[in-house]
Structure 1
Amino acid sequence: MAVQSAAERGWTAISRFYDNCKKKISGKKGYPQFQKDGRSVEYKTSGWSLHPTKRQVTFTDKNGIGKLKLLGKWEIHTYNLKDIKRVRLIRRADGYYCQFCLNITVTDIQPKTGKEIGLDVGIESFYTDYNGHQEPNPKFLRKAETSIKKSQRQIYKKVKGSSGRRKARKVYAKKH
């Protein structure tokens, strides 16, 4: 199933490109861009099983993944096993994550007040509402630039191929 979903994503990119060519869209046609290192694996209905306690996922597709513990905040125990349509493993800078795609209907239970507001998102101010109140821009990147630069310098001080360099790269990825 994981191989099929990867092939499916590739074919949708190729078919989107050909559809844009047939429609004679000017400019970029949306050339397919294939990732060299896929950071996610998606399983549809088979290749995985959930432990009865719903705290472990076992991958049975013979790729050597095996059992994984589910840590952190999770509410998967409140859903029925039949509602889970896809399971996706994602690698990020700070570890691996398991996403469950559920087939549920969402209902909005907020009462309608009939009041509407207008927001303008900008560069100088984070947002301006219809009353003229401006929220200042938090500038997360500008505040973190010094620590990012310092962690990048630490990478260059390490020997190429060493475990210290790999750890420094991990610290840099987390800060970025």
Structure 2
Amino acid sequence: MLKAYKFRLFPTKTQRSKMERTLDLCRWVYNQTLAYRKDAWEKEGRSTSKYETNNLLPNWKVEKPDLNEVFSQVLQNTQERVDLALKAFFRRVKAGEKPGYPRFRGSGWYDSFTYPQFGFKLLCGKLRLSKIGDIKIKLHRPIEGKIKRLTVRRSSTGKWFACFTVEIDDPPKPPWKDGLSVGIDVGLESFATISNGEKIGNPRFFRSDETALAKAQRRLSKCAKGTSQRRAAVKVVQRVHERIANRRYNFAHQMSNQLVSKYGLIVFEDLNIKNMLKNHCVAKSISDAAWRMLVTTTSYKAESAGSKVVLVDPRNTSQLCSRCGVKVPKSLSDRVHECTQCGLVMDRDENAAINILRLGMQSLRKSDRSPSL
């Protein structure tokens, strides 16, 4: 079982320069590798492998001695990224999609490098990177398991992070928790409505910082390109976006932790958010809500918490009556469910959440159900 750990790095000015230089050289290797494989196909009609491009590195190091400043396996991993990008492109083509061909990376558009096996070591409060040095690292929690890979990433605001991929023994799967079952209907007016009637407010992180973002973008638009003032204005815009993303990420983790600690069965709708974003009237609000992030974080936490997450078909969950099953058509503006058959009157989202829970229960085999369910 693989697990990821992410820690903040605090490099010195000299170390930061070396890391920036490493990113630039990796970007050069990426573009050269992509150009070589592209030309081989277009001019000679042959496909090249990752190992063929690995054999080009010694000659490139002779032509460009600066490449010796980078650990050899880091450069090989850069070529592996090209290989993965091309494989993903052809896989999507065969599937009938219309993907874009892998693009060359411009200056500033390459933000991470990877040590796939060796070249790094954790010391007392330091991370030793080959060709770079000992960098101060904030180890806010212990690392459990065997470290297999390290990726050093630079954020848009210039912060550096170390991301460790760790291999651990598969822990025994906990028994299904004898807890409550719950259906969750996500929305825009309320972020989520639970089948027990509880509502979770929509924090609207982007909307709350939209004024500050607009102000920063106006200042950016007035700065001439290529000036130091424009670079500083870009940093301000990036910090606002980073603050919004961090708040949204923290909210999703807190909410998912509460769900898996309280409920044994958690049922969500399997929403096609990509299609929903085509409605430009609500696309910004849907993106701001980040429903998929909640489902993802809840799913992987449930595996180790003894809970179970089920996704169900969202069709007609808002239209059907949760008591008698009669279809009661209603528009988005209708916020109250009123059944003409059985007389049930309740909140529209709560009615949908109850239907979601019912579908989740029906999708489980009898042998898979917890005794308490």
- TM-score, structure 2 as length reference: 0.40
Amino acid at match of 2:122: L
1:93 matched to 2:156? The reply is yes
Q: Give the distance between the partners of 1:110 and 1:154, measured in 2 at CA.
A: 56
Kindly indicate which of the two structures has a greater share of residues assigned to strand: 1
Question: CA 1:11–1:104 in structure 2 vs 1: closer, same or farther (change >3 Å)?
Answer: same
| Structure 2: gaps of 5 or more residues | 1-72, 242-373
Maintained 8 Å contact 2:86/2:102: no
Aligned Cα root-mean-square deviation (Å): 2.6
Question: CA 1:159–1:136 in structure 2 vs 1: closer, same or farther (change >3 Å)?
Answer: same
Shift of 1:160: 3.8
Kindly indicate which of the two structures has a greater share of residues assigned to helix: 2
Question: CA 1:49–1:17 in structure 2 vs 1: closer, same or farther (change >3 Å)?
Answer: same
Amino acid at match of 2:80: E
Q: Give the distance between the partners of 2:118 and 2:174, measured in 1 at CA.
A: 35
| Structure 1: gaps of 5 or more residues | none
Q: Structure 1 residues 114-123 or 83-92, which shifts more?
A: 114-123
Counterpart mapping for 1:13-32 below 5 A: 13-21=85-93, 24-28=94-98, 30-32=99-101
- TM-score, structure 1 as length reference: 0.77
The number of residue pairs the alignment matches comes to 164
Counterpart mapping for 1:32-71 below 5 A: 32-34=101-103, 36=105, 37-51=109-123, 53=124, 55-60=125-130, 62=131, 65-71=132-138
User: Which has the higher relative contact order, 1 or 2, with Cα contacts under 8 A spaced 6 or more apart?
Assistant: 2
* Alignment correspondent of 1:103: 167
Q: Give the distance between the partners of 1:20 and 1:157, measured in 2 at CA.
A: 41
Percent identity between the two aligned chains: 32
Maintained 8 Å contact 1:10/1:34: no
Shift of 1:110: 8.2
